[in-house]
Amino acid sequence: MRKHSFSLILTFLLIAPVIANSQNNNSVSKPVIVLKGSIIDLTTKAGLSYASIGVLDKPIGTLSDSLGNFSFEVTEENLNDTLQISLVGYSTRRMLAKDFQNSKDGIILMQISYTSLQEVVVTNHTNETEIIGRQKSGKLIQVSLHNRKSAEETIGSEMGIRISNKHENAFLKDINWHFSANNFRRIKIRVNIYSMKNDLPDTLITNKQLIYTIEDFKTGWIKFDLEPYEIQAPADFLISIQWLEGKQDKVERPITIVPVATSFSQKCYVRIASQDKWKRMGMNPSCYVTLMY
């Protein structure tokens, strides 16, 4: 019992700064304004699923659903802030929140980006692989992927690790996360891969959505296979998992827990909402990637 209590205390201490940041932004009760609409492909007029929309650099925002619809709350003071809308394969858009609020139809049109990504040279791989990250899964210290009280408010949040790659022609084979607890029947996760700039995640380096489903309350090591996508690994990059949606049949509060170890390297990055600022954390989650070259 004492060991279990100690674990819970350490868990709270680790995630307290993230939770506190969220609570401080909501500690004073203010009238809320609901921003709702649809994110649509300019050419096809089809709804775009899982596009990120939110107040730039603040923990306020969400993702569009499978039909391109979205809804989230802001306060009156946020109306002078900038909304950013982004989705892999499309040009990022920005607009003032008040301009969107005053729009007649609430439709945001997104244009396909024709900016070419770095050319990928596919070669015959050897059988050499390298694992980078934490392969241990001790449960003494753990953090939740949920920064708020409900799964809906967690939509768009991300946690990832920074990887240094020494192999010039390495490709990403897989990323593995250890879930020590999970009370969701189904979770939909997106794997994002970012270049680094000024010690922060910068630009997505893939042109496809990498979406995976975790089913039946699965725990333990969960592998997300990246080999089919032939993603060339940069020398320095961040790879994250982003919460898209979840189906919870249990009565308990949302729980999806990942073991961590304390670390001074600050190679773990988190953000609460889809357009929030990234924060570097002094922890090392049970997560590793496999490179092949």
Count, residues in the chain: 293
d(CA 89, CA 67): 17
Which domains does the chain carry? 31-110 (2.60.40.1120), 120-292 (2.60.120)
The tokens of 105 are what? 């139809």
Q: Is 5 exposed, middle or buried (0-12, 13-18, 19+ CB in 10 A)?
A: exposed
Beta 129-133 vs 287-292: how paired, if at all? antiparallel
**CB-CB neighbours of 250 under 10 Å:** 11
DSSP helix/strand/coil, 165: coil
SS3 182: strand
Q: What is the pLDDT along the chain (293 residues), one digit of tens a residue?
A: 434 333 333 443 344 444 444 444 444 567 899 999 999 999 999 999 999 999 999 999 999 999 999 999 999 999 999 999 999 999 999 999 999 999 989 999 999 987 655 544 555 656 799 999 999 999 889 998 876 567 788 899 999 999 999 998 899 999 999 999 998 999 999 999 999 999 999 999 998 999 999 999 999 999 999 999 999 999 999 999 999 999 887 777 778 899 999 988 899 999 999 999 999 999 999 999 999 99
Separation of alpha carbons 249 and 251, rounded Å: 7
